[in-house]
Amino acid sequence: MLLVVVALFLAVELPAYVGLDPAASRVPARPDLPLHYPLLVAHILFGSVALVTACLQIWPWLRRAHPVVHRRSGRIYLFGGVFPGGLAVLGVAPFSSTGPVSAVGNTALAVLWLATAVAGFRAARAHRYGDHRRWMLRSVALTFSIVVNRVWLVAYFLLFSPSLGDDPTALVLAAAGAAVWTSWVVNLLVVEWWVLRPPRRRHHRTV
Ligand code: HEM
């Protein structure tokens, strides 16, 4: 199910960027920042690797039945996805085309994306698998914030249209800024609740 959502997301988002044609980009060009477009495309391509491998990493059956595949795709998630994608986006996020609220929200997301992945990787190397699981769930929640971002964006457009409909620029800045923050904060809160909830009690029947 999650793989289908990711496939649909990538089918909509990637065509504008795989041709490496700056004119096709939906994010406005920054001629003053020559590295902006290459870093934008790099983060999208590495981000796509992160999204696909994240689906494999949180699939319980694969983890249990094929631990070697879990380990290999985990390395691809980190070294072919989150680490290069997170570093690339640090050169893009502070210059967001949708204003300072988005810029701060995306930069915070990029830093947390890298930090949670580093913490998860270190925990696995130290064989602290409980910590590893919790950090990687946080990392995956942040990876998926890009997908839910599109849903929040539509919701905020609808919510803000009555008050800001006469000023399209203000509407875009408000909706995009709110969507950036809501998408990763809510994802992180949901996962935090999930990893911190008390373990379910098992009912043992006494015979
Ligand atoms: C989780 C950390 C991420 C951060 C902080 C981040 C940040 C950003 C930023 C700052 C932009 C440029 C927005 C602008 O200037 O208007 C952007 C665009 C974009 N990002 Fe990410 N991103 C992240 C993850 C991902 C992932 C995992 C993907 C998956 C493919 C992705 C796909 C895209 C796409 C397709 C665009 C272009 C938007 C468009 O064409 O409308 N991002 N991102």
Per-residue pLDDT tens digits for 166-180: 999 999 999 999 999
Which of the four pLDDT bands, split at 50, 70 and 90, describes residue 117? very high
Stretch 1-18: mean pLDDT: 95
Give CB contacts under 8 A, 24+ apart, made by 21-29.
27/97, 28/97
pLDDT (0 to 100) of residue 207: 38
Q: Is 6 near ligand 1, meaning CB less than 6 Å away?
A: no
Stretch 152-177: mean pLDDT: 97
Stretch 116-125: mean pLDDT: 97
Q: Which two tokens stand for residue 104?
A: 């701060």
Instruction: Kindly give the distance from the C-alpha atom of residue 80 to the centroid of ligand 1, in angstroms, as a whole number.
Output: 16
Give whole-number Cα distances, 20 to 99, 105, 140, in Å.
25, 26, 27
Instruction: Kindly give the distance from the C-alpha atom of residue 198 to the centroid of ligand 1, in angstroms, as a whole number.
Output: 34
pLDDT digits (tens, 9 = 90+) for 59-82: 999 999 999 999 999 999 999 999
Taking the C-alpha atoms of residue 121 and residue 129, their distance in angstroms, rounded to an integer, is 10
Which of the four pLDDT bands, split at 50, 70 and 90, describes residue 51? very high
Q: Is 142 near ligand 1, meaning CB less than 6 Å away?
A: yes
Q: Is 98 near ligand 1, meaning CB less than 6 Å away?
A: yes
Q: Is 89 near ligand 1, meaning CB less than 6 Å away?
A: yes
Taking the C-alpha atoms of residue 31 and residue 164, their distance in angstroms, rounded to an integer, is 30
DSSP per-residue codes, 182-201: HHHHHHHHHHHHHHHSPPPP
Residue 29 DSSP symbol: P
Taking the C-alpha atoms of residue 162 and residue 171, their distance in angstroms, rounded to an integer, is 10
Nearest to 50 by CA among 114, 124, 123, 119: 114
Which ligand 1 atom is the nearest neighbour of the CA of 98?
16
Nearest to 5 by CA among 58, 66, 72, 70: 58
pLDDT digits (tens, 9 = 90+) for 77-97: 999 999 999 999 999 999 999
Stretch 118-146: mean pLDDT: 97
Pocket probe mutation, ligand 1, options 89, 109, 185, 191, max atoms within 8 Å of Cβ: 89
Residue predicted with more confidence, 38 or 197: 38
Instruction: Kindly give the distance from the C-alpha atom of residue 147 to the centroid of ligand 1, in angstroms, as a whole number.
Output: 10
The predicted model scores a pTM of 0.94
Say how far residue 148 (Cα) sits from the centre of its chain.
9
Residue 204 DSSP symbol: P
Nearest to 134 by CA among 146, 116, 109: 116
Which of the four pLDDT bands, split at 50, 70 and 90, describes residue 199? confident
Taking the C-alpha atoms of residue 39 and residue 91, their distance in angstroms, rounded to an integer, is 7
Q: Is 51 near ligand 1, meaning CB less than 6 Å away?
A: yes
- Which percentage of the chain shows pLDDT scores above 90? 92
Q: Is 109 near ligand 1, meaning CB less than 6 Å away?
A: yes
Which of the four pLDDT bands, split at 50, 70 and 90, describes residue 1? confident
